[in-house]
Amino acid sequence: MARASLAELEAFATVARRGGFRAAARELGVSSSGLSHAIASLEERLNMRLFNRTTRSVALTAAGAQFLEEILPALAAIDGAIENAGERFGEPSGLLRLNMAAGAARFVIAPLIREYLDRYPRMQVEIVSEAALVDVIGRGFDAGIRLRDAVPPDMIAVPIIPEVRLVVVGSSAYLRDRPVPVVPQDLLAHECIRYRLANGRIYRWEFARGGERLELDAPGRLILDDSGLMLDAALAGMGLGYLAEDTVKSHIRDRRLTPLLRDWMPEEPPLCLYYSGRRHVPAKLRAFIDLARSHVTPSA
C-alpha cells in the first residue's frame, strides 16, 4: 500500500478539527473540491471511510476518529520540530490556537491578544469560543482559558486575571417602575435573565456577605447561554443580569446600567491560561504565557 503523504494527513486533521471542507479549505489555502479529492484519495489508500458526509454536515466515522487520535501526536511532533527549527533563528511564528468561553474571550482579546499580535507580527491567533469544556490537546489547541475550578487537574494553570467580580445590574428602563432589591431574596419578585450552563443546568445566582452564603434560582422568562447576549438583554431592559463586573463597568460608568446588591456579590476563582505540561511548549506559546503573566495585577 502506498504511504499517505504528510499533506494528506494534515488535510484530514484540519477537516476533522474544522468540522467541514469549506472552513478547512480556507485555512489550508486550497479549493474545497481539491481538499475533498485529497481526502477521497486518502480514504482509498487506507481502504476505510474517514468521514460521513451529508449535504449539511461532515462527521468522523468511528474508524476516522481512531485514526485521528493515532496520528495527532505525530503531527504535533512534526509541527513542533518545524517551529523549533525556525525559532533558533528568529521570533515566534505560526498559528496560536486558544479555546475559551465567549465571556473569557472578552477579557483577553484586548489588550492581551492585541499586544501579542503587535509584539509578534509573524504570529496569527485563532480563538474558538464555546461554553463546554473540551479536550484542548485532542482538539488541536495550544492552550485554553477557563476559571481555575474548571481547569483539568493534569494541566498547568497560569492565573491571568486574579479575581473575577460579579455584579447584578439593571437598566433605568427596567428599574423605573420596580422596587430596587435590597437583599437577594428580593430578586424573587423580579424578572431575571437566566443562564444555561454547558451541561444543561440553569445557573443559580450566588451571593455572599460576611459568613453567609446562598444560591438563588433567580426567576425569569428569558434563558440565554451567552454572556454577551445577557448583557444586550439587560441593556434593553428585559430584566436583571448577573454578569462579570469588567464586562459591564463601561455601561455602569455611562449610567446605562445600575449595579445592585453590591454588598452581596462574591468573587469568582481566577481566570487561568492552561496548557499541557507533558508536551514541548513551543516558543509561540511560551511567549504568550510570559505576556499573560506580565499582565497579571495583584488583587487589592
Residue 250 inside a domain? The answer is: yes
284/262 same-domain check: no
Closest CA to 92 of 74, 117, 127, 72: 117
Q: Same structural domain for residues 215 and 245?
A: yes
Looking up residue 116, the CATH number of its domain turns out to be: 3.40.190.10
139: in domain: yes
Whether residue 186 is found in the same domain as residue 232 = yes
The predicted pLDDT at position 97 comes to 92
Q: What are phi and psi of 129, to 5 degrees?
A: -105, 125
pLDDT at 35 over 50: yes
Structural domain of 40: 6-85
The residue from 43, 67, 85 where one domain ends is 85
Residue 208: the pLDDT is 92
Task: Please tell me the predicted confidence (pLDDT) of residue 287.
Answer: 93
Cα 278 to Cα 264: distance, rounded to the nearest angstrom: 41
Percent of the chain with pLDDT over 70: 94
Chain mean pLDDT for the chain: 87
Q: What angle do CA 30, 33, 34 make, to 5 degrees?
A: 50
| Mean pLDDT computed over 15-28 | 86
Q: Is residue 176 part of a domain?
A: yes
* Amino acid found at 295: H
Instruction: Please give the tally of structural domains in the chain.
Output: 3
169 and 262 belong to one structural domain: yes
Given a cut of 60, whether residue 297 has pLDDT beyond it is no
Same domain? For 52 and 104 the reply is no
Do 131 and 168 reside in the same domain of the chain? Answer: no
Residue 282 and residue 218 share a domain: no
pLDDT at 103: 77
pLDDT of 13 above 70: yes
Answer with the residue of higher pLDDT: 3 or 201.
Answer: 201
Residues 100 and 156 in one domain: yes
Residue 300 included in any domain: no
* pLDDT tens-digit readout, 83-134: 666 555 567 888 999 999 887 887 788 778 999 999 999 999 999 988 788 8
189: in domain: yes
Confidence of residue 275 (pLDDT cuts 50, 70, 90): very high
Boundary-marking domain end, from 85, 119, 140: 85
Q: Do 51 and 39 form a contact (C-beta atoms < 8 A)?
A: yes
Instruction: Please report the pLDDT score of residue 186 as a whole number.
Output: 97
Average pLDDT, integer, range 161-189: 93
CATH code: domain of residue 31: 1.10.10.10
Q: Any idea what the CATH number is for the domain that residue 174 is in? A: 3.40.190.290
For the beta carbon of residue 177, count every other beta carbon within 10 angstroms.
Answer: 6
Average pLDDT over residues 216-228: 94
Question: Please, which pLDDT band fits residue 76 given cuts at 50, 70 and 90?
Answer: confident
Mean pLDDT across 256-270? 91
pLDDT at residue number 300:
39
Of 68, 85, 102, the one marking the end of a domain is 85
Global pTM value: 0.63
Between CA 238 and CA 15 the distance in angstroms is: 40
